[in-house]
Structure 1
Amino acid sequence: MAQSFKFELVSPERLLVSEEIESVVIPATEGEMTVMANHSPVMTTIKPGVVTITSAGGQERYVVFGGFADILPSGCTLLAESAVAVKDLDREDIAQRVQNAREDVADASDDATRSRAEEYLAQLTTLQGAL
């Protein structure tokens, strides 16, 4: 059995998870990361994607839309811009976010803004396809 550590998933609306877990896979901006007990200290930004939490009771999955994670040997806190359990996911919400991102790309006033909007649109489209 894997060693457990404290994990918290927080969105502006509420605390979604606060429990001892065995591992968590987070969609870091530079690629997926698996965090386990005694992980080296790291802080990373989060892109839209799925967080998979593994505990003694099984697995839970949450969709997150950006944020950052603070990882310490004793635990991990993920502060999400927005988060929802996959089982409670409203696919129309993701479709609306994709549509809004497309409009942001079309309305971009400069190359830097357009580039950020295109990256966010690509992440959302990938997420939509994965679910």
Structure 2
Amino acid sequence: MAGRVQFELVTPERVLAAEEADLVVVPGGDGNFGVLPGHAPLLSTLRPGVVDIYQGDKITSRIFVAGGFAEVAEDRFTVLADEAQAVEDIDDAAAAERLSRARDALTRAQGSDEDVAAAEAELAVAEALAVATGAH
């Protein structure tokens, strides 16, 4: 359909979204960006955050992504997410617990830079998840 973006969000486990949208805004590695019909081809990393899917001028779906990649092609927009979940399905208590565990893991991370980097990456995901749910 002309004037719409064919959007698909895929995780390693399943297709979480496959729909036409008027606008999709994603948390790109260099900042949020929106994709409208006719967007120039683009490949971007994703940082932890929320994908907003618009129908008209209203957000109809919000999906948390932990990271991944986004590809804009002539006729479609695809997000390949490491982990994703509809924001309304996120358990606030579980998000708060994940944030607490991530903070503890970073405090305990010692030795290799790899351990610290992994703990920092998990903390970034947990913080974004907590912000998405208001559990921070």
TM-score under structure 2 normalisation? 0.80
Structure 2 contact 50–132 (Cα < 8 Å) conserved:
no
Deviation string 1:14-52 (CA, Å, 9 cap, x unpaired) is: 111111111111011211111111111111111111110
The aligned residue for residue 121 of structure 1 is: 123
The aligned residue for residue 71 of structure 1 is: 72
Matches within 5 A, 1:79-118: 79-105=80-106, 106-111=108-113, 113-115=115-117, 117-118=119-120
Change (3 A) 1:126 1:15: closer
RMSD over equivalenced CA pairs, Å: 2.4
Unaligned runs of 5+ in 1: none
SS in 1 for 2:127: helix
CA distance in 2, matches of 1:70, 1:86: 22
Identity of aligned residues (%): 38
How many positions carry a matched residue from both structures?
A: 130
**Deviation at residue 78 of structure 1 after TM alignment:** 0.5
Structure 2 contact 8–78 (Cα < 8 Å) conserved:
yes
Which piece of structure 1 moves more, 110-119 or 13-22? 110-119
Runs of 4+ that moved beyond 3 A = none
Structure 1 contact 48–66 (Cα < 8 Å) conserved:
yes
Deviation string 1:46-103 (CA, Å, 9 cap, x unpaired) is: 1111110012494211111111111113211001111111111112332233234334
CA distance in 2, matches of 1:123, 1:14: 20
